Structure 1
């Protein structure tokens, strides 16, 4: 996937979830050797003082924890989704919290984070959980589509930066193939075909990232449930924005939305660089 210069961008709103997202973004900026830009989108002039205090609090926390990262911060006026999407046009990565409270009832709530993940021009990481784990693997879902290939490239690079194992998972469902359950011999045949598909999809990336230890998984089941379960103790779960796949059309937008709602770890949603759905 094409990389962009410039700082990682994190949306904040004064809430604890947003502060955790900002801290995650600062750590990622440190790993990438780039800067961090914190943005609080204020749609109410009455809250101007609170907005300034909130963004400076996030800036102070990130600077203290990661003194080598150049942190900048600003308050901008407008609608949170619109402004964050605008910034995604030039950012290499956009980070938001799964939910926000604070003084901004609209800022970085579930609907906003989902909306940003669905429409951003760059990869989006939605930070879930009270304290993101610092151990465990990176998990990525694939299905053979262009979108999942972009996600796979992002996941390999993330695993390399984190020095983490990478679990590459492709799921398949019998009801997507036939209206009746497959006999055991046909089930084994499909599973072997999926295993070959996963190996073929990862081959180039394994050559480019020889230090990344990978584990490839072909699993029968629902993609949201399978990925969520595989990422129970993960440091990051990566999915494509959409996918078409050869096994029942896996990794449509509903899968990305599903893991955003159910996964406990940070979730990265990666759009196809060519903008294809």
Structure 2
């Protein structure tokens, strides 16, 4: 999509980190940058407009080559941001606590947007990684993951960074009588099959992106645990968001939720 890189703006430190990240990403993609804010209080519209003007000026100073617009949009923040994502190439939000609960690792608005936005959402936290850090992508091995791999390879290519591909697996669950999966597994055989699966998935992508160095990790482990561990010191972690948001609150799946909550680098959540 050739829409803008859109970023949610507030007065938090996390929002400023998100704005800086969005500025740099818009420059890399040669796309315009759109700043969006919803008034926190009806009486504070003037202050919100002033904040937007300051942040727009800061974005222009950081990346003069990027066309920057700023919009103050009435409505609940989560709904405003989700609607703004409809015509965006990418939506960027800061990781922050909200609602007076400082122990929350991520704001409820951020989690909602990551679960509902129709475009990829990048959740940015501070501090930023070293400029030469790798891009990481979590892969299950299904055909539906093309948007996730495309996002990861393009991100690595734009920034001239290596790509680290993580595939975590566990033994299938036995569902009960009549289940055809054998009770006893030979771990080396199962591991070899997962190695083969990942190599097969990546073959076409290596050919399309010969300039992107790729390393892989195939491990028997919990996917969320491995991805969070791999996020330390990285430039970006890319994961997929499968299907519709779950439950009455519209949550992410368990793996995506854990990764977005606990990863130590920016996380791109890509709808598949």
Under TM normalisation by the shorter chain, which class is it?
Answer: 0.7 to 0.9
Q: Distance in 2 between matches of 1:137 and 1:36?
A: 24
Structure 1: 5+ residue stretches without partners: 244-251, 273-277
* Aligned counterpart in structure 1 of residue 120 of structure 2, from 118, 123, 136: 123
TM-score (norm 1): 0.85
Tell me if 1:16 matches 2:13.
yes
Is 1:135 equivalent to 2:132 in the alignment? yes
Deviation larger for 171-180 or 82-91: 171-180
User: Cα distance 1:142–1:64, how it changes in 2: closer, same or farther (>3 A)?
Assistant: same
C-alpha distance in 2, partners of 1:191/1:71?
49
Q: Secondary structure at the match of 1:174?
A: coil
Q: How far does the alpha carbon of each residue in 1:126-176 deviate from its partner, in whole angstroms, 9 at most, with x for none?
A: 002233432211000011234433211110000001111101111012364
Instruction: Report if the CA contact (8 A) 1:7-1:37 is conserved.
Output: yes
CA distance in 2, matches of 1:218, 1:10: 34
Q: Is the 8 A contact 1:147 1:240 kept in 2?
A: no
Residue 31 (str. 1) matches residue 28 (str. 2): yes
Larger CA deviation: 22-31 vs 199-208: 199-208
Report SS of the residue matched to 2:232.
Answer: coil
| Aligned equivalent of 1:195 | 195
Say which SS state the counterpart of residue 233 (structure 1) adopts.
coil
**DSSP 3-state at the match of 2:212:** coil
**1:257–1:147 CA distance, 2 compared to 1 (3 A):** farther
Runs (4+) off by over 3 Å:
174-182
Q: CA RMSD in A?
A: 2.3
Q: How many residues align?
A: 254
- TM-aligned CA deviation for residue 42 of structure 1: 1.4
- Give the whole-Å Cα distance in 1 for the aligned partners of 2:95 and 2:183: 39
Partner of 1:46: 43
Question: In 2 relative to 1, CA 132–22 (structure 1 residues): closer, same or farther, beyond 3 Å?
Answer: farther
Partner of 2:215: helix, strand, or coil? strand
For structure 2, list consecutive stretches of 5 or more residues without a partner in the other structure. Answer: 175-180, 244-251
| 1:98-143 CA distance string (max 9 Å, x none) | 1167xxx9xxx61111110101100000002233432211000011
SS at match of 1:42: coil
Decide whether the 8 Å contact of 1:239 with 1:270 is kept in 2: yes
Alignment partner of 1:90 out of 87, 90, 93: 87
Q: Distance in 1 between matches of 2:122 and 2:74?
A: 23
CA contact (8 A) 1:81 1:116 kept: yes
Deviates more, 1:145-154 or 1:196-205: 145-154
- 1:261-276 equivalent positions in 2, closer than 5 A: 261-272=261-272
